[in-house]
Amino acid sequence: MRHPVLYLFILVALGLLVAASLGGGPWGAGSTLQHWTGELFRGICHQNPLRSYSVNGVQMAVNTRCFGVFSGLLAGWLMIPVMIRIKPGKSVIVGILLFAVLLQIIDFSGNLFELWSNTNHSRFLAGTLPGIAAVLFISELFIQPDPKLHEQ
């Protein structure tokens, strides 16, 4: 693997991001919005209680779609060692990314036009796929260059 220290640093950072997004529940707080975790995400997430999971009876610091994106980033990051061995074509990864974005648009539009009512689980899934796809898009940066190509 190319850049193993960078890979591990980002892996730890993403793990901390997901842990902090769980909100005040794991930390024993009675409320997330006044907890440091709620303050941390206030500027990037609307933190709507109806669109958030709860942990230990306390609202998470982010809504389910944001939690899905963060979880997807972490899951995708964990997949990088496998992806650099499989080496899928760029068109496959771009296809996954486009599918993930299209799923976001369909989920939002269906709810907007009252064709269906999306749930916290569908929002989480709709957030997870773009997170995974975004990481897979950059996974080739960690592929070790082939020394045979540099000999010529």
The winner for highest mean pLDDT among 18-22, 33-37, 138-142 is 18-22
Strands 58-59 and 54-55: antiparallel
Angle, nearest 10°, between helix axes 64-86 and 120-138? Answer: 30
Report how far apart, in Å, the C-alpha atoms of 147 and of each of 49, 143, 150 are. Answer: 53, 12, 5
Q: Which domain holds residue 132?
A: 4-142
Predicted TM-score of the model (pTM): 0.86
- The string of pLDDT tens digits covering residues 25-84 is 998 888 888 899 999 999 999 999 999 999 999 999 999 999 999 999 999 999 999 888
Helix, strand, coil proportions of the chain in percent (round to 5)?
70, 5, 30
Write out the two tokens for 61. 């610091």
Does residue 148 lie in a domain region? no
Does residue 80 lie in a domain region? yes
Residue 105 scores a pLDDT above 70: yes
Does residue 152 lie in a domain region? no
Distance CA 105, CA 89 (A): 25
Q: Number of structural domains, the chain?
A: 1
Residue 151 has a pLDDT of: 56
Does residue 150 lie in a domain region? no
The backbone torsions φ and ψ at residue 130, rounded to the nearest 5 degrees and listed phi first, read: -65, -35
Does residue 67 lie in a domain region? yes
